């Protein structure tokens, strides 16, 4: 009988080889099935939040491993405008992503949020960290009913302790409301929408977009 | 831009390409001498004039040749390039830039970021006819750049659609949601509101014309109708074709496509297959001047491609149309483009004639833009009447969809008294929110009066399928048909394991 390396009979050797490689073959064959693609969703139990996009209630899920840091001015300041010696090539990026290595609250206390740097969790439209990213640089968009007067709107802002930064020209009776970055802006937007008084209340999301 | 030419094509060493005839800087183009052939790289700009595949271009030369005083090349039209930025001092763009009107979303200045992608897009639209480099479709159009993509918040997106709307006649948008997931990604409600605002206030009420890249995700199973920006009725969703007039390998299909245009494919070393356009000055950008498959003149590239490239071709054609007839409304522009296209790829099996006698294709929309036909039609066009909008009631279905068993669930809406005899666009709202894998579903709308069908969604693998929770599809395919009649929505689950229910749907017709 012809023997194989290690002096094993051929049939035993081949059996052992098949036992060793079969699991890998199965994995390779199934790697493109939707079952495997969904494994990541199953494995990741991500924290879910909801928000209102107009009258559509949408869900988002927090990425536990990333934070977003925004370099944008507090509205009304010029904190991030280029200095006279800088040029557009060296301007700081609007957003960058930080892997969370320490407790998020610890990380946040290390940053001085004074209109120079704002932190937000990174979220996704689907319950997976491979989905399109979004984050919360701060501030909330509200659109009031068309027939509300300026006085009525201002009174409503006072009632809800809101600071209107500016009116928005791309929608009627729409305003930018001041809010800190992160989930605070999401929660404020939801609270305002749930009053039933507004047409729209949305955090000013940053969203991942691509060139085509 | 598709970053694939090195992975898709063998790297073949050839003699370095050089500029052919350089006019030493040109004269700024102030004189007109019908110098369409004087741009050094013009011979490679097959999308303007294809000398190898005769007829497979946008037929723009007859328009340029009509005027001896450069009055037909877009000089009264302003195009905003919403992108990652652009080089406003580029030698072939600077003279067409409107000083002080671009915008930087990161620092609030009027100098947008330097960006290769935006610079290449701008060149396709409006590179000057000045004996330097290349020529744009509308070589005298005015241009401004907004570098939205460096700070893509929803406020900035909405602002970019409406900033200077009175002066921005055309808005070019060669960007969108990520293309590699084949999942549903909607646009923010505030963006759609901004588009609507641009339509009512832009161009003093005639409406800014928004041109949008259909998407590059065909190979990932993506469809332009899964993109809530590209499938919105207010934009011209644009697909891409090769220099032989067929769909590029990346260009997404979609019932929402209106037209297609040359978008090119990669960087073949012997034949120019990409779109030739401007690049960042010097060694920056796509072309450092040293690659054997690109020009030694590094301010230009022959390798730009994508629906990013097709979209500015259409923007340039729209600029020529508005130059010829500045009284067109945004809906008129859509209608003219659809009716003046060239019927490309004639043997493609997806061509269908709709009830109004217009030919339509999920790969191409109504076909490839034809600049001469579009401008001539624009000149004689009588503007459309005021738009009517007719939403049907929400049809509750609540039927389980058979799991990959050959059966389908259909629902029929009988539309009466809509008063819309000429459809311009249909929005379809669809819900099957309990289906655990939305990618299983093939969804088709059929006008039973005419037989015209719109494939809204294909069965596909999505890396993160989002549910159909009142999802908004769009279709241009029923242009010119009447809304009254029976409309059927057919839903079929064509993949095993996941199940769900066809819950509800609704149609909204736009037209006259």
Residue A185 inside a domain? The answer is: yes
Where does B161-299 show beta strands of DSSP type E? 170-173, 175-176, 209-213, 235-241, 257-262, 275-278
- The SS3 of residue A21 is helix
Q: CA of B153, closest CA in chain A: separation in Å?
A: 4
Instruction: Look at residue A26 in the predicted model and tell me its pLDDT.
Output: 39
Last residue of a domain, one of A110, A134, A158: A134
Residue A2 inside a domain? The answer is: no
Element (H, E) at A73: none
Q: Are residues A128 and A152 in the same domain?
A: no
Confidence of residue B210 (pLDDT cuts 50, 70, 90): very high
Of A32, A72, A125, the CB nearest to B466: A125
Residues of chain A with C-beta less than 8 angstroms from the C-beta of B145: none
The answer to whether B89 touches B154, Cβ cutoff 8 Å, is no
Instruction: Look at residue A73 in the predicted model and tell me its pLDDT.
Output: 57
Residue A21 inside a domain? The answer is: no
> Is any Cβ of chain A less than 8 angstroms from the Cβ of B20?
no
Residue A23 inside a domain? The answer is: no
The answer to whether B360 touches B352, Cβ cutoff 8 Å, is yes
B175:A56 CB<8 A: no
How many other β-carbons are positioned within 10 Å of the β-carbon of residue A109? 10
Residues of chain A with C-beta less than 8 angstroms from the C-beta of B216: 212
What's the DSSP call for residue B391? E
- The SS3 of residue B218 is helix
Return the CATH architecture of domain B388-511. Sandwich (2.60)
Q: What is the mean pLDDT of chain B?
A: 92
Provide the chain B residues 296-315 that lie in CB contact (below 8 A) with chain A: 306-308, 311
> Is any Cβ of chain A less than 8 angstroms from the Cβ of B152?
yes
> Is any Cβ of chain A less than 8 angstroms from the Cβ of B153?
yes
A210:B176 CB<8 A: yes
> Is any Cβ of chain A less than 8 angstroms from the Cβ of B284?
no
pLDDT tens-place string over residues B140-155: 999 999 999 999 999 9
pLDDT tens-place string over residues A109-167: 545 444 456 899 999 998 889 889 999 999 999 999 999 999 999 999 999 999 999 99
Q: Are residues A56 and A119 in the same domain?
A: yes
Confidence of residue B271 (pLDDT cuts 50, 70, 90): confident
Q: Are residues A56 and A121 in the same domain?
A: yes
CA B248, chain centre distance (Å): 14
Distance of alpha carbon B422 from alpha carbon A117, whole angstroms: 53
Instruction: Look at residue B465 in the predicted model and tell me its pLDDT.
Output: 84
Strand partners, A51: A58
Is residue A107's pLDDT more than 60? no
Is residue A181's pLDDT more than 90? yes
Element (H, E) at B368: none
Residue A179 belongs to a domain with what CATH number?
3.30.70
Q: Are residues A200 and A162 in the same domain?
A: yes
Q: How far apart are the first and last CA of chain B?
A: 38
Closest C-alpha to B133, from B95, B94, B92: B92
Domain containing residue A92:
48-134
B162:A169 CB<8 A: yes
Handedness of CA B11, B15, B20, B24 (dihedral sign): positive
A88:B85 CB<8 A: yes
DSSP assignment string, A105-124: HHHHHHS--SSS-EEEEEEE
Q: CA of A139, closest CA in chain B: separation in Å?
A: 10
Confidence of residue B1 (pLDDT cuts 50, 70, 90): low
Residue A10 inside a domain? The answer is: no
Q: Are residues A98 and A158 in the same domain?
A: no
Distance of alpha carbon B71 from alpha carbon B81, whole angstroms: 22
Distance of alpha carbon B327 from alpha carbon B342, whole angstroms: 24
DSSP assignment string, B155-178: HHHHHHHHTTTTT--EEEE-EES-
Q: Are residues A109 and A179 in the same domain?
A: no
Average pLDDT over residues B405-426: 97
Return the CATH architecture of domain B5-380. 3-Layer(aba) Sandwich (3.40)
Residue A110 inside a domain? The answer is: yes
Residue A53 inside a domain? The answer is: yes
Work out how many domains chain A is built from and give that number.
2
A95:B151 CB<8 A: yes
Residue A54 inside a domain? The answer is: yes
Last residue of a domain, one of A89, A114, A134: A134
Average pLDDT over residues B204-213: 98
Domain range annotation of chain B: 5-380, 388-511
Q: CA of A23, closest CA in chain B: separation in Å?
A: 22
Last residue of a domain, one of A115, A134, A153: A134
Interface test with A, best of B166, B171, B187, B188 (most A CBs within 10 A): B188
Confidence of residue B427 (pLDDT cuts 50, 70, 90): very high
């Amino acid at each position: 009988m012809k023997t194989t390396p290690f002096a094993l009979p051929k049939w035993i050797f081949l059996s052992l080889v098949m036992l060793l490689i079969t699991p890998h073959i199965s994995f390779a064959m199934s790697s493109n099935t939707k079952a495997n693609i969904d494994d990541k969703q199953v494995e990741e139990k991500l924290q879910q939040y909801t928000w209102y996009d107009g009258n559509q209630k949408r869900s988002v899920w927090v990425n536990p491993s990333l934070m977003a840091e925004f370099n944008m001015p507090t509205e009304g300041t010029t904190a991030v405008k280029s200095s006279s010696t800088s040029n557009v090539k060296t301007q700081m990026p609007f957003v960058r992503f930080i892997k969370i290595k320490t407790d998020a609250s610890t990380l946040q206390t290390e940053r001085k949020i004074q209109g120079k740097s704002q932190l937000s969790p990174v979220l996704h439209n689907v319950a997976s960290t491979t989905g399109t990213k979004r984050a919360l640089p701060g501030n909330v968009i509200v659109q009031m009913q068309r027939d509300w007067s300026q006085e009525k709107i201002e009174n409503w802002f006072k009632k809800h302790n809101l600071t209107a930064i500016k009116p928005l020209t791309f929608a009627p009776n729409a305003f930018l409301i001041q809010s800190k970055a992160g989930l605070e802006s999401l929660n404020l937007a939801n609270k305002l929408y749930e009053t039933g008084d507004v047409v729209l209340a949305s955090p000013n999301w940053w969203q991942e977009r691509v060139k085509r | 831009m598709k970053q694939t030419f090195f992975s898709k094509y063998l790297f073949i060493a050839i003699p370095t390409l050089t500029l052919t005839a350089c006019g030493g800087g040109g004269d700024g183009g102030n004189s007109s001498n019908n110098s369409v052939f004087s741009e050094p790289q013009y011979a490679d700009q097959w999308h303007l004039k294809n000398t190898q595949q005769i007829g497979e271009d946008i037929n723009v030369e007859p328009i340029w040749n009509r005027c001896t005083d450069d009055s037909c090349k877009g000089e009264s039209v302003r195009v905003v390039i919403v992108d990652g930025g652009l080089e406003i001092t580029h030698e072939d763009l600077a003279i067409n830039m409107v000083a002080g009107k671009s915008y930087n979303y990161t620092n609030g200045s009027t100098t947008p970021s330097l960006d290769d992608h935006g610079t290449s897009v701008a060149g396709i639209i409006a590179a000057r006819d000045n004996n330097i480099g290349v020529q744009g479709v509308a070589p005298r159009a005015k241009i401004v750049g907004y570098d939205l993509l460096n700070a893509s918040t929803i406020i900035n997106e909405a602002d970019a659609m409406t900033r200077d709307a009175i002066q921005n006649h055309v808005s070019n948008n060669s960007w969108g949601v990520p293309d590699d997931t084949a999942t549903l990604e909607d646009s923010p409600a505030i963006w759609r509101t901004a588009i609507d605002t641009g339509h009512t206030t832009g161009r003093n009420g005639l409406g800014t014309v928004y041109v949008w890249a259909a998407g590059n995700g065909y190979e990932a199973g993506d469809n332009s109708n899964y993109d809530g920006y590209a499938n919105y009725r207010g934009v011209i969703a644009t697909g891409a074709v090769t220099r032989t007039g067929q769909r590029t390998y990346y260009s997404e299909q979609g019932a929402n496509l209106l037209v297609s245009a040359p978008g090119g494919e990669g960087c073949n070393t012997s034949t120019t297959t990409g779109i030739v356009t401007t690049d960042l000055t010097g060694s920056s950008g796509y072309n450092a001047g040293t690659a054997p498959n690109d020009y030694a003149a590094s301010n230009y590239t022959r390798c730009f491609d994508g629906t990013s490239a097709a979209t500015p071709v259409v923007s340039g054609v729209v600029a020529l149309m508005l130059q010829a007839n500045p009284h067109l409304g945004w809906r008129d522009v859509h209608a003219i483009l659809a009716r003046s296209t060239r019927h490309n790829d004639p043997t493609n099996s997806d061509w269908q004639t709709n009830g109004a006698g217009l030919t339509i294709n999920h790969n191409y929309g109504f076909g490839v833009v034809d600049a001469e036909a579009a401008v001539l039609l624009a000149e004689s066009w009588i503007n459309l009447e005021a738009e009517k909008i007719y939403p049907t009631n929400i049809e509750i279905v609540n039927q389980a969809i058979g799991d990959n068993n050959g059966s389908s669930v259909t629902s029929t809406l009988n539309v009466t008294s809509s008063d819309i005899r000429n459809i311009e666009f249909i929005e379809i709202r669809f819900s099957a929110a309990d289906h655990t894998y939305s990618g299983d579903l093939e969804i088709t709308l059929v006008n039973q009066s005419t037989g015209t069908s719109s494939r809204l969604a294909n069965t596909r693998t999505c890396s993160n399928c989002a549910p159909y929770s009142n999802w908004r599809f769009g279709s241009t395919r029923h242009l010119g048909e009447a809304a009254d009649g029976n409309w059927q929505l057919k839903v079929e689950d064509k993949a095993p394991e996941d199940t769900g229910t066809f819950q509800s749907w609704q149609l909204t017709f736009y037209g006259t």
